[in-house]
Chain A
């Protein structure tokens, strides 16, 4: 078995081996530590010239990487916690994503900013958030979020080497130890694989299931919970679902279009349940529901969102559990919709 963490680590190693323009900048990167979550382990030993452990200066290291990218390198920034993305927001919004367009196509900023997001580790209000919703809709920013259904390291490697747009790469913390799935572990599912650029979009349904009553969509770690909910809904409640798992959160199809796999599933089910770990209002799920409504009109029979409570994430285990989406929340919402 390969864990998500190992896969990401391999993806970084592969990118470094393949292209000497690849650099990594971040805090506490040096071996044996290898970054706070160990995703960067081994890189500083193997590529000491290209792995720069940095001061605690998120804005500056992001800006430095932007400057390197402007001049033809392909830097990766490791932000220790996604919560600290607020510190790089100016670089991201007013420089990195602006240069390619406002300089009339004469500059590109091929940078990948990777960061862990998400709760369930007891880190409390400022180290547990899922903040990518703040950056969805920033023009020019590609936001990717790997899951266990395909190789997260390959998604990262391709984002580093093949993508000239700035990329914000969201790694849910709880995903790190999870196994990357294989045909054996997914043997109960029929899976359709589509591509959104090089980002995979998976559609899952239980083998032999009838036409779906409901379409679930989730990304990152929430896709794990949604898969479990899908199985239990079928076996315990005879509600049959399809689960659509994108790994690109932004940009979305132009002109308000609905992502093709989601559109295909909704043609059958007419009901959409979105699941995200970000807060409920004004988020990723809201956008999916809006697009589904535009696309389907009166054929959209029902739509709901499961998301985190609109409150700071508490440190106490019991309260944190209550604040974040769970399999039970998904099942409850699904049962109320069908």
Chain B
């Protein structure tokens, strides 16, 4: 995991790996195209109204979060569910370990959940000899390879069929096979046994619905349906920000989520689950536990200006459209969430100085904000975080900007210094300064300028020109 400094070596490796570059570029490119045709005015004329509505609903919910959490809890309990509140990952693991022990469950199946990635749930359970098996095809591959997701929606985007063939042969003892259809069937066969044998199924949740006490899970494979309906116990783990007030709000959110993520008007499966099976129902889990996780979310909630970071519905569109993500991929970002959304939430969870470079890893082109289905103003939040980093720093940059601020507010000094700079400036090439004079070649300044050319200062300043013109002197 990356720390306080830009992971230069790994970035170089990523950029030099042409196979990986093409995998990232092709995958995100496809998702960009699919999204674009799914939200075009011909097929979704009210797309912008839907985004606006989604933003308003999320803002309203988060501004009244305690009310809706209590409503959710009351309704879930009324339907026979059990609500568990957890401050952090440790409490989640303790709860699951306790329950598994009580019920004598040793095998757990899991469907894709970024929230459980965030709290390293699998490692925590493994540590106590509980097998938790990922069942989403991409996540299963990553679990066998001991890697973390590369992308919110396409977790194994960076893996080739050849790597999967090696992995399956090595870890599952099956024949080496590079045909993707066969690899998929192998996973189906191996995991089907697990679904039917598991004592507990753990899912995430895309939405929590307050007026229904329900969780909503969207997926394409069917593994989340299996996880939530085959084992006798279903545990859903969700961040407290996943709430929406009403089931009817799903008309807005489901439309936006599928289209923004993969260009699907609706994903193959959407499960709306409120509690365990009821008397008379043919099948389904006998127990339903809903884990509500904070893990730093209340910290983000407190900052009214940055609160909208919590609106995110994890569609991944900002990753696909980000020129930085498309170059450096998902594993060079610190934390669970990569791309633009990761660059705004990771610093808020961990403190800006944990990775002070992260908010700067953006061109501020604004593509992320343009495609965000809930209209999170990511570039503005990045700028806010950059200011925080600068305020925390006591280094060169801060002194330099202070000096500049002083200079810019003192006209006489400004005139003097700029006149001096113009005179001292070395000869450039074709009007550009490409190399610094020797006395300025040091430290951060040299590094900063090594990537930038500066236009040569004009021989005559605008102020001089203006004074001369006012006196009726030559205009040229």
- Note whether A and B form a binding pair: no
B residues with a Cβ closer than 8 A to A are none
A residues with a Cβ closer than 8 A to B are none
